[in-house]
Amino acid sequence: MRAIYFAAMIEAEAGDKIENLLAETIVKNWDETLLVLFANIQTKNSHKQLQTAEQWLAIHSGDSVLLQILGKICIKCKQMEKAEQYLTKSVGIEPSVAAYQMLGDVLREKGDQEKASECYRKGLELASSEVVNRIEGING
């Protein structure tokens, strides 16, 4: 229920009003959906948002979704080196299409077209295999 409220507030561009409450909720009830919502808040202070999310690393350092949202927030903060580190760790733990796409974007921004293309390719392969698995599940 809270996720719906937070998503609606973010959609209404009222993320600044719920940012602290969302962060507190995440600390009390670790939830990947809430993490993704936190990263989608359009805030005037992305650096503060990054500091808040980095505090969660002390307890959840191996969480691929946390690492992915840290990468996303770093991109908002224009910290591309840090974004690359977080996203690389994220795909190393649990590859995702979104993390590969963001990592590709970061690498392209840094001028490394070859590595960016490789990330995009891996993301597309992962997306394709997810579609095949869904089709097999329906037909199975």
For 70-82, the pLDDT digits (tens) are 999 999 999 999 9
CB 119 within 8 A of CB 104: yes
Greater confidence (1 vs 85) lies with 85
Q: 38 with 69: CB under 8 angstroms?
A: yes
DSSP classification of residue 44: S
Q: Which residue has the higher pLDDT, 131 or 39?
A: 39
Give the CATH class of 61-140: mainly alpha
Q: What is the mean pLDDT of the chain?
A: 94
The dihedral over CA atoms of 78, 82, 83, 88, expressed in degrees to the nearest 10, equals: 160
Query: C-alpha angle 127/130/132, rounded to 5°?
Result: 110
pLDDT tens digit sequence for 98-129: 999 999 999 999 999 999 999 999 999 999 98
Q: pLDDT band for position 1 (50/70/90)?
A: confident
53/23 Cα distance (integer angstroms): 8
> What's the average model confidence in pLDDT over 31-55?
95
Q: How confident is the model at residue 140 (pLDDT cuts 50, 70, 90)?
A: low
pLDDT over 90 (residue 31): yes
DSSP string, 89-110: HHHHHS--HHHHHHHHHHHHHT
> Which three-class secondary structure string do you get for 27-40?
HHCCCHHHHHHHHC
pLDDT, tens digit, for every residue of 49-64? 999 999 999 999 999 9
Per-residue confidence (pLDDT) for residue 21, from 0 to 100: 95
Structure tokens at 20: 């602290």
User: In the chain, where does the domain assigned CATH 1.25.40.10 lie?
Assistant: 61-140
Dihedrals phi, psi of 60, to nearest 5 degrees? -120, 45
